[in-house]
Structure 1
Amino acid sequence: MAKQKIVIKVQMSSDKCRSKAMALVASTGGVDSVALAGDSKDQVVVVGEGVDSIKLTEALRKKVGDAQLVQVGENKKEEKKPADPVAEYNQWYYHHYPPPPPVVYDHRAAGYGYYSQPDTSCSIM
């Protein structure tokens, strides 16, 4: 089953109503994304698989306000393919200097923090 795009016009007078509608739609099973559209942000655009548009519209009417089903169709937006990691590495490798090697300091060789005990044995005996 292909992803479908559902557009529902909902009468929302405030930001509180908008967030309530968005939360209601987002909690519905099968919904992948929710967005607001229209000049006055009065349309809820839902993208998902297996979403019952009629039940969703009825739930919005019950919880938010007057709702009308405007459009139900196939989602025509193509998803981005994951980038080729080898190509990304080659681009980084050829266009940037490699990171410098780590520097390791040997403090004992320089005499820092290294304490030797003086020789206390008697040399006469």
Structure 2
Amino acid sequence: MSAPSEIRLRRAEQVLEVAWPDGTRHRLPAEYLRVESPSAEVQGHGPGQKVIVAGRRHVGILRVEPVGNYAVRIVFDDLHDTGIYSWDYLRTLGREQESRWAAYLAELGARGLSRDPPRRV
């Protein structure tokens, strides 16, 4: 998988824009990137172990760090920073954004969870 031709963090919008050499562009919201993190904390250590991460509607991205010539590490403002987003995974997230997001929302609903953070009393 070739590297993106451009990666731009739009802080005000909390969106990561990724452009590819073939002209494809993806706008990946911070919340989507966080709940689809490739980290073991989210994906688990094997098939069927994915964790549904709720309450991240307002999560932001603090920074995007290069990892060699093959990936980036995204540091979120909830301090999650263990996911390494390879070029291939970023491309997959962009290509499958609609279906993955719909599945995430359905899973939240099925479990009675919310995108909103818990209210503090």
Same fold (TM over 0.5): no
Which category describes the TM-score, using the shorter chain as reference length? under 0.3
Q: Which structure is higher in RCO with an 8 Å CA cutoff and minimum separation 6?
A: 1
- Higher-Rg structure is 1
TM-score (norm 1): 0.25
TM-score normalised by structure 2 residue count: 0.25
